[in-house]
């Protein structure tokens, strides 16, 4: 089963937080990657940016501290990836959209996978410690262990598809999970599933073995 159109989108709350710059870096990466693929979310983000710009223009100005320029230049030199530039629909050859390619340092062949069991592999990406971003490789037909969430998890499909009791998620779709969702995602049999996932709290596994392995896998 394949899908040509993105049907699972970001919420307005996430897009507004991204526009305001209040999301953790890992969530910024996931939102930027989805927006680079999704015309609908990119248009809504542009609308929120416009509203935010209008509010800034109407706000009162304040005098900057004398070291403001030096502090700004220091942050630029530190190389922190804040994704301040808005993602565009321009696609480069390969699987990964430009925002994700920049973090990985290349495309799929540049990923350093680590096995987590049952054929599933992951690669944790370098972001701030507030939240974690990881690439997940799930063999076709394989399942991720049954789990719940202690916080928010964004899962963006890059290749293949997966399904749970909520719905079917194909390329470009994003599933937003919170403490109310317990599920067992299963990769579609058509192709191996590759996802970008961001979490701001550890998952809540039901099985004993996943719980024992969790501290080592940083899931």
Q: Which of 163-196 are b and which e, b meaning 16 or more Cβ less than 10 Å from the residue's Cβ?
A: bbeeeebbbbbbbbbeeeeebebbbbeeebbbbb
For the chain, domain boundaries: 12-101, 106-217
Q: What's the rounded Cα separation, in Å, for the pair 101 and 83?
A: 13
Class level of CATH domain 12-101: mainly alpha
CATH of 106-217, one of 3.40.50.2000, 2.60.120.10, 3.40.50.150, 1.10.132.20: 2.60.120.10
The pair of three-digit structure tokens given for residue 138, joined into one six-digit string:
């799930």
d(CA 114, CA 122): 5
Neighbour count for residue 156 (Cβ, 10 Å): 26
Q: What is the pLDDT of residue 136?
A: 96
Tens place of pLDDT per residue across the chain (219 aa): 344 589 999 999 999 999 999 999 999 999 999 999 999 999 999 999 997 555 455 556 667 677 766 766 666 666 545 555 566 665 567 999 999 999 999 999 999 999 988 899 999 999 999 999 999 999 999 999 888 888 999 999 999 999 999 999 999 999 999 988 999 999 999 999 999 999 999 877 777 666 666 666 677
Query: Which 3 state secondary structure label does DSSP give 194?
Result: strand
The residues, any chain, with a CB within 8 Å of residue 57's CB and separated by 6 or more, are none
pLDDT of residue 121: 95
């Amino acid at each position: 089963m394949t899908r040509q159109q993105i049907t699972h989108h970001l919420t307005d709350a996430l897009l507004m937080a991204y526009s305001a710059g209040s999301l953790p870096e890992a969530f910024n990466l996931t939102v930027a990657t989805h927006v680079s693929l999704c015309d609908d979310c990119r248009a809504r983000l542009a609308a929120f940016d416009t509203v935010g710009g209008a509010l800034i223009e109407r706000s009162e100005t304040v005098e900057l501290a004398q070291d403001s320029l030096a502090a700004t230049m220091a942050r630029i030199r530190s190389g922190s990836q804040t994704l301040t530039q808005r993602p565009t629909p321009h696609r480069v050859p390969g699987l990964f959209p430009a925002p994700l390619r920049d973090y990985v340092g290349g495309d799929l062949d540049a990923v350093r996978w680590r096995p987590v069991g049952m054929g599933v592999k992951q690669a944790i990406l370098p972001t701030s410690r507030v939240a974690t971003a990881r690439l997940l490789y799930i063999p076709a037909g394989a399942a991720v262990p049954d789990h719940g969430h202690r916080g928010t998890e964004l899962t963006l499909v890059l290749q293949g598809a997966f399904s749970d009791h909520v719905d079917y998620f194909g390329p470009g779709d994003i599933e937003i999970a919170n403490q109310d969702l317990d599920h067992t995602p299963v990769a579609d049999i058509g192709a191996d599933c590759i996802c970008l996932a961001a979490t701001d709290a550890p998952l809540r596994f039901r099985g004993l073995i996943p719980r024992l392995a969790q501290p080592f896998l940083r899931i």
